[in-house]
Amino acid sequence: MPVTESSAPGGIFRSIALAALLISLGNITSRLLGLVREPIIAAYFSRGLAVDAFTLAWTLPNALYELLVSGAVSAALVPVFSEYAERDRAEFWHVVSTVLTLAFTVLVIASALLAWQAPLAVSLLARSTEAALQMEAIALVGWLLPAVTLMGISGVVTAILHAQRRFLLPAFVAATFNAGMIAGIVILAPMIGIKSLAVGTLLGAFAQLLIQLPGLRDSQIRFRFNLRHPAVRRILRLYAPVTLGIGFSLIGTVIDRWLASGFPAALSTMRFATTLIQFPLGLVASAVALAVLPTLSRQSAAGDDPAFRATLAMGLKVVLLLILPATAGLAALSVPITATLFERGAFGPDDTVITALALLLYLPGLPAAAIDQMLLFAFYARKNTLIPNLIQGAAILCYLVVAIPLAEWTPLGFLGLVLGNSAQWIGHAIITAWILQRSLSLRGLRLGEAMVKGLAASGLMALAVSGIAATLGSVWPPLAQVAVAGSAGFIIYTLIAVGLRLEAATFLLNLIRERLQR
């Protein structure tokens, strides 16, 4: 479903908003299915060795996917594909064919090498004292690796469709992946245990490629291996610095996994808490950033800095408008939300308490991570992939400075690692914003006003939600607390945002009103 845009600023913003709504719809579906998947995992396996081992094993193929494809989609593929899609369709498909051929070849070879060296790779992620965890993880790696090639090709197809402003099918890729995982767990968990997660991963990886194929119905894809094409070289040049940032991320992940492996059930607890963080992050930051990226890329290529600044500023304001109340709401309802989602089957009340505490310690970094994603895409749209990935190295230092002392030398244990992750997100966002401001001034665009008003509205909403939840807590079940207090919070925040005349709130309300009138 192509999304067109006019040259007028209002038309551009509306085009971006419609694309963001499409992506949001897919993200809502994906995150809702994720909120079904993780409670199913918790109900079957709770916190402990089995889920810790799967989390550890999945780190390896996921790292391979991030290194070879995922990091390139936004930083290199979409910007370059977008330019060719606009000006030369025949050459566009030539470039696409070459990239697909190269991606498939590299993914197959890399997966085979990782399968061969799986014991060595797992030994880097888990302490030598955790032999049972290592053995279980090694057994799962072989089941998971075939998913890497499927996910990689699916990622390139997503970039092809986004470059043509076809957002509908790619929006539901993650939802399809989660649906495959759920099917694998529900059908096979009673028979093969934790391996059902690996089979579900394969099903999901195949399904997310299959769902996008109708979007290529008018394609001209052929087997090509032309590394000398100027566009392919540009993609490789843009992507090369990204590997540096992903390398830093992998170092941070290795350290995080290694430290967490020394605490029983730490990996699974962090996994379940992170699921609750990823819901608003994917729903808000990813949707807005992916919708804005093609427009930012075109404005940067045209040298239209005023339009670029205005588009980026509006994207940031929309992110702030939505992510701040989400963070406040999760903080106010951390225990009843965790109990509602996870407390069943093997997952008991004690598991709820520790998972909710981990969630609270992740929350300080949530707004920073959401803002950071928009800022990173601004760098990518300007064909600058080196600076954002150098920043990742500094962010890892923020993590190490906070995480290691708290985890190893205080009673916090693995919760110190959670605080370290929050520190990493905050540090990354601060450094990214400071560097971007030096080359592209965002002064005069009322971003500070949006932040202050958003914090005020979210704080007032959180106080009201906490009071309502406390009043209902002794009588009503967790689900009812979340439903009543959450609904009240949504109404309260909306009224305050409108009353404070938040620019992004006014823009979205006007857009919705126009669509309803049509």
Check residue 279 and give its pLDDT: 81
Q: What is the mean pLDDT of residues 219-223?
A: 74
Q: What is the pLDDT of residue 44?
A: 93
Average pLDDT on 86-99 reads 80
Given a cut of 60, is residue 287 above it in pLDDT? Answer: yes
Check whether 356 has a pLDDT greater than 90: yes
- The pLDDT value given to residue 416: 96
Give the whole-angstrom CA distance, residue 315 versus residue 299.
14
Position with higher pLDDT, 303 vs 256: 256
Query: Residue 357: pLDDT above 50?
Result: yes
**With 60 as the cut, is the pLDDT of residue 245 above it?**
yes
- Name, in order, each residue with C-beta under 8 angstroms of 427's C-beta and a sequence gap of 6 or more: 394, 395, 397, 398, 399
Which pLDDT belongs to residue 230? 80
Q: Compute the mean pLDDT over every residue in the chain, rounded to the nearest whole number.
A: 85
Q: Is the pLDDT of residue 242 over 90?
A: no
Does the pLDDT at position 8 exceed 60?
no
pLDDT(412) > 80: yes
Tokens representing 178 are 């989660």
Count of beta carbons in the 10 Å neighbourhood of residue 4: 8
Task: Report d(CA 315, CA 105) in Å as an integer.
Answer: 37
The lowest-confidence range among 288-302, 386-400, 504-518 is 504-518
Task: Give the relative orientation of helices 287-301 and 9-45 as an angle to the nearest 10 degrees.
Answer: 140
pLDDT over threshold 50, residue 105? yes
Please spell the DSSP secondary structure of 404-416, one letter per residue.
HHHHHHSTTTTHH
Three-state DSSP state, 2: strand
Checking if the pLDDT of 402 tops 80, the result is yes
Burial 445-475 (b: 16+ CB within 10 A, else e): bebeebbebbeebbeebbebbbebbeebeee
Q: Which residue has the higher pLDDT, 511 or 396?
A: 396
pLDDT value at residue 206: 94
- Measured torsion, CA atoms of residues 33, 35, 38, 43, in degrees rounded to the nearest 10: -110
**How confident is the model over 107-131, as a mean pLDDT?**
91
Q: In this predicted model, what pLDDT tens digit does every residue of 153-193 receive, in sequence order?
A: 998 888 888 877 777 788 888 889 999 999 999 999 989 99
- 497 phi/psi in degrees, rounded to 5: -60, -40
pLDDT at 1: 42
Which residue, 54, 102, 427, is CA-closest to 239? 102
Assign 55 a pLDDT band (cuts: 50, 70, 90).
very high
- Tell me the residue type at 367: P
* Predicted pLDDT at 450: 87
Report pLDDT digits (tens) over 416-439: 999 999 999 999 999 999 998 888
pLDDT score of 353 more than 60: yes
Domain boundaries, the chain: 49-253
Average pLDDT, integer, range 351-371: 95
Does the pLDDT of residue 202 top 90, yes or no?
yes
| The pLDDT value given to residue 266 | 94
Residue with tokens 């002064």: 443
Nearest C-alpha neighbor of 212 from the set 145, 295, 156, 165: 156
d(CA 359, CA 331): 8
Q: What is the mean pLDDT of residues 340-358?
A: 93
Average pLDDT over residues 267-291: 83
pTM over 0.85: no
**Residue recorded with tokens 């994906």:** 30
Q: Is the pLDDT of residue 517 over 80?
A: no
Residue 256 and residue 425: Cα distance in Å, rounded?
14
> What is the mean pLDDT of the segment spanning 26-51?
88
Place 68 in a pLDDT band, splitting at 50, 70 and 90. confident
Asked if 313 and 375 count as a contact pair (C-beta separation under 8 A), the reply is no
- Write out the two tokens for 461: 């909403």
Q: Nearest to residue 383, comparing CAs of 95, 80, 134?
A: 80
Residue 73 confidence (pLDDT) above 70: yes
Q: How far apart are CA 416 and CA 386, in angstroms?
A: 30
User: Encoding tokens for residue 383?
Assistant: 């064909």
